[in-house]
A and B are shown apart, each in its own frame.
Chain A
Amino acid sequence: MVRRLLLWCEMLIVAAFLFALPLSATDSLPDFSRPMSEFYAALPDDIRQSLPEGLLTPDGPDAEKLVQALQPDEWLMWVREWLYAGLPGAGQLLGKIVLLCILSTLICRLAESFGRSKMISAVQILTALFVALALLQEEQHMLETVSMCLQRLGVTVDALLAVLGLLFATGGNPAVAASGCGGLMALFAGLENLFAALMIPLLAATLGVAVPASLPIGRRLCGVLAAIKRMVAFLLGFSGVLFSAVFGLQTVLAAGADSVASRTVKFAVGNAVPVIGGVMGDTVRTVGAGLEYLKDTVGILGVLLTLLLVLPPILQILLHRAVLLLGQSVAELLECPAEMKLMREFSTVCGWLLALVCACAAAFIFALVLFVQISVSIALV
């Protein structure tokens, strides 16, 4: 009884949304050029330039170009271009690390021929500081890149969700538009705030503390470093739980709203709306199919844009991590313990940065795929 009452209440709310929409018996799609142009304007310039020419049309993304852009050959070409762009910098950093390790070992071994003294540890600290400076500057750049990537992802996601929400609302699914877009926006706002306000500063603090903790004079800071690392690990785990919870809730809400909305539209078309009830028939199906097609292309474009936004930072971090791992091996080979520890800590931070970007991208792609899977109600009529 209570369930039926709740169902009726839901149907009433959705019907109120439906009556508020400008519905009319037409076999053409409503004009989406304005929201589309607003969405295109929200895209970062470099991302827009890297998309194939003619993909972004005023009526929505061109499906043929979209399929072409998703070809593995295209992606391999992009990945190769990004890697080629990042390789000189990575090579120079690796060269610097190797050279500094060699110099450190050379000076220490030469000095050791006159017997061990504290002068040697002073030289070791000096070379470790040089390596630390080079790595810190690079890591700062990485943090800025990741922070900017999350920010840009947030802006693109908001613009994309606005278009998808409008499509669902026009298609007769205002509840899906409200619950789905609301859920996704909440998820992204939560993740973005968690990462921007907590994770990035914590990672920056880890880098700051890792420098003295790696030196022979700062061994006592290892405890502080371990505490910060535990905190970061906890927050990463917490963000995973938050993501799962919001994602699950959004799935339930969207599925429920979809079912209620489709029944409401059937009811409205059949009985309650006299103007469209008898006239719409096949034309409504045509509009629904058009909306479905547009929604799918916008959804795929969303996935494509997410990949384009997150792949360069991911490749950059992977390249930097590879440099750190190679440098670590060289430092181990040349018996430079301070440099080795420094690179190990920085490599851990790189791993966390990678996890942040991947978590954000995966959250959005999964949610978007789920969102696109939900049909617009008109198509179900």
Chain B
Amino acid sequence: MDSFKISAVAFLCTVVAVLVKQYRAEFVLPVRTAASIVLLGFGSALMVPVLRWIRALDCFAAEEIALLMRALCIVLLVHICAAICRDCGEASVASCLEFAGRAELLLLALPLLDRILSVVSVLLTW
């Protein structure tokens, strides 16, 4: 029944944000950020058993799982930060953040691309 707790926290955070907005609008951003972090923490705690299950399968693809977990972290972090930036009206910052995230993903994929290219080059020079 974690969804009840999470929904209650989300509802509470929304009410607080609306109330704060009426009296002190400049405090809305910290409230929103704090609510996002708390909800993300709840979500991450729920994901732990799933991640543990995936880790248990690393006999098939240990290297791939480690890299994809890093990719998952990058994607989630960049997404959340970009969404907060957009909420604050900073769309250009959000776009730059997403670009940086994609660049990091590309950086993660570089060793993999290198290996694929070496196999393909062997195949093409058969």
Contacts and interface: CB of A to CB of B under 8 A. Distances in A.
Interface in B92-108: 98, 101-102, 105-106, 108
B113 interface: yes
Nearest to B119: A136
A295 B64 CA distance: 57
Interface in A35-76: none
Contacts of B48: none
B6 to A, nearest CB: 13
Interface residues of A, number: 38
Contacts of A367: none
Interface of A: 92, 95-96, 99-100, 103-104, 106-107, 110-111, 114-115, 117-120, 122-123, 125-127, 129-130, 132-134, 136-137, 140, 143, 200-201, 204-205, 207-208, 211
Contacts of A122: 75, 102, 105-106
A159 B106 CA distance: 54
Give the interface size bracket for B toward A. Answer: 35 or more
A123 B64 contact: no
A134 B112 CA distance: 11
B76 interface: yes
Contact of A208 (B61, B83, B123): B123
A265 B75 CA distance: 85
A87 B61 CA distance: 17
Contacts of B24: none
B80 interface: yes
A132 B116 contact: yes
Given A129-B113, A200-B126, 20 more contacts: A99-B60, A100-B61, A103-B64, A107-B68, A107-B72, A111-B75, A111-B79, A114-B76, A114-B80, A119-B98, A122-B75, A123-B68, A129-B116, A134-B61, A136-B119, A136-B120, A136-B123, A140-B123, A204-B123, A205-B123
B112 A133 contact: yes
Interface of B: 50, 54, 57, 60-61, 64-65, 67-68, 71-72, 75-76, 78-80, 82-83, 98, 101-102, 105-106, 108-109, 112-113, 115-116, 119-120, 122-124, 126
Interface of A is mostly: helix
A110 B115 CA distance: 28
A133 B109 contact: no
A181 to B, nearest CB: 31
Nearest to A107: B72
Contacts of B64: 96, 99-100, 103, 130
11 contacts: A92-B60, A117-B79, A117-B98, A119-B101, A129-B109, A133-B115, A133-B119, A136-B123, A204-B126, A208-B120, A208-B124
Contacts of A95: 57, 60-61
Nearest to A201: B126
A88 to B, nearest CB: 12
B105 A211 contact: no
A126 B74 CA distance: 13
Contact of A140 (B65, B80, B122): B122
B85 to A, nearest CB: 12
A119 B79 contact: yes
Contacts of A100: 61, 64, 68
Nearest to A129: B112
Contacts of B78: 119
Nearest to B80: A114
- B57, B79, B108 — most chain A CB neighbours (10 Å): B79
B119 to A, nearest CB: 5
B79 A136 contact: no
A168 B123 CA distance: 43
A230 B112 CA distance: 30
A131 to B, nearest CB: 9
A92 B72 CA distance: 24
B98 A118 contact: yes
A103 B115 contact: no
B60 A114 contact: no
B120 A211 contact: yes
Contact of B102 (A104, A119, A205, A211): A119
Q: Interface centre among B115, B116, B122, by most A CB within 10 Å?
A: B116
B80 A96 contact: no
Contacts of B65: 99, 103
A322 to B, nearest CB: 18
